[in-house]
Structure 1
């Protein structure tokens, strides 16, 4: 299939997990992909996987919190592939051991969360938009989180900054829609990435599974397929929206798992 034929896509955080899955899937659909990551070796590995499958990829090392580095990433895409049509602002995260409740959270971690999630989204979009205008339009895809939609006992900073990413998404969509630029966000639920498996104990992962309407957690490819849809012309009338891809986590009542056991056999 060639749903992204002739398109150039820049994906940050493409060295692993959801970013790597999205890069591979977009390449499979015909896109030329800039694989951007803070870890050069990870970016190069993703690019090798794409090229081994017959695609075209350029690995780029980037610090998404530094404007000069982001500008260089976008410039590399233009120099290598001649344009820019898709940007996935995927880098983000928090340290769950420091991003605690209101009274115990580490304020340095709060500042880091703002920079890593909000500033990176702003900088990537800021440098991509002029090139997308020259190309006649484009699609910006921001990674938010279900943490933006619900309260939690931990990750106070993370939920707040991801909500800000959703707000920024809507503003970009409104500001540059007249130039043919769409901007949407994806809110993943619990996805079995290396980061999730490394940071959460098994009992928490088991609880997350019970909290889903579906009987399993998502895979990186589940989110990657959603990003491909948003990058493609199939979503040409969709902008300023948040797509929640969470296995029904936020749709399900907290009482549902227990009540399910009450159903007749």
Structure 2
């Protein structure tokens, strides 16, 4: 079954993790895929593997902090495959050393994260939408975060940027829905991407797992399959929404696990 047959997708941050999963799944389901990433070698390798497995993919360097680079990625996609009908704005940055509480945050880091995490989403849509209108419609998917719905002791810029992505998704959907362009977002919780596995200790992972409703962590494919659904016509009446893919981590009062443990000891 080719769920996205005939569609052309540009995936930013597609060389690894969530982006790579999405690129692979879209290609398997019939889409032509462009993988755009700062990691040029990783993007080329990912595209080559997709092609070896019978899909169709290309790669291009992307610096999501640069307007010209984003436009170039969109133009390359259209030149390579004739159009663009799916855009996955997936690039995002965080910095635990500089993105601190509102008193101590590095203001240059605030500007950097707003530029990459938020402005790149705006620019991706800005450059892709005219081509989607010519194609008769399309689907824009933005990577938000559960940090956009909650507070934390650090990562003030990251959380604020992702909250803005959620609302920008609604604005884009409202403004271009009559052109048959849908725009939705995905808000992942903790996902065991290679970066997460390399940077989080087992002790930290166990803390997250304690507060999940489900007894396990999410994998990159959990987000990839959600993006595949949003790219496909199966979701043709869904727009302006943010789908939270977070294992039930945020659905309950945070005291529930502790009270459960307490009651089992009583």
Change (3 A) 1:106 1:198: farther
Tell which deviates more after alignment, 163-172 or 248-257.
Answer: 248-257
- Equivalent residue, structure 2, for 1:131: 131
Q: CA deviation at 1:198?
A: 3.1
Please give the root-mean-square deviation of Cα atoms over the aligned residues, in Å.
1.3
Tell which deviates more after alignment, 173-182 or 104-113.
Answer: 104-113
Q: CA deviation at 1:201?
A: 3.2
User: Could you tell me how far apart the structure 2 residues matched to 1:235 and 1:160 are?
Assistant: 28
User: Could you tell me how far apart the structure 1 residues matched to 2:76 and 2:201 are?
Assistant: 40
Q: Which runs of 5+ in 2 are unaligned?
A: none
1:13 aligns with 2:13: yes
User: Could you tell me how far apart the structure 2 residues matched to 1:61 and 1:133 are?
Assistant: 25
- Equivalent residue, structure 2, for 1:45: 45
- Equivalent residue, structure 2, for 1:207: 207
Whether the aligned pair in 2 keeps the contact of 1:65 and 1:123 (CA below 8 Å) is no
- Equivalent residue, structure 2, for 1:84: 84
Give the count of matched residue pairs.
265
For normalisation by structure 1, the TM-score amounts to: 0.97
- Equivalent residue, structure 2, for 1:36: 36
- Equivalent residue, structure 1, for 2:24: 24
- Equivalent residue, structure 2, for 1:97: 97
Whether the aligned pair in 2 keeps the contact of 1:212 and 1:252 (CA below 8 Å) is no
**Deviations, residues 157-206 of structure 1 (Å, cap 9, x unaligned):** 11000000111100000000010000000000000012223333332221
- Equivalent residue, structure 2, for 1:183: 183
**Deviations, residues 87-106 of structure 1 (Å, cap 9, x unaligned):** 00000121112111122211
User: Could you tell me how far apart the structure 1 residues matched to 2:96 and 2:8 are?
Assistant: 34
Change (3 A) 1:203 1:104: farther
Q: CA deviation at 1:108?
A: 1.4
Q: CA deviation at 1:214?
A: 0.5
User: Could you tell me how far apart the structure 2 residues matched to 1:199 and 1:125 are?
Assistant: 31
Q: Which runs of 5+ in 1 are unaligned?
A: none
User: Could you tell me how far apart the structure 1 residues matched to 2:126 and 2:243 are?
Assistant: 22
Alignment of 1:1-265 (within 5 A): 1-262=1-262
Q: CA deviation at 1:208?
A: 0.8
Whether the aligned pair in 2 keeps the contact of 1:21 and 1:220 (CA below 8 Å) is yes
Whether the aligned pair in 2 keeps the contact of 1:64 and 1:124 (CA below 8 Å) is no
Tell which deviates more after alignment, 193-202 or 89-98.
Answer: 193-202
Q: CA deviation at 1:131?
A: 0.4
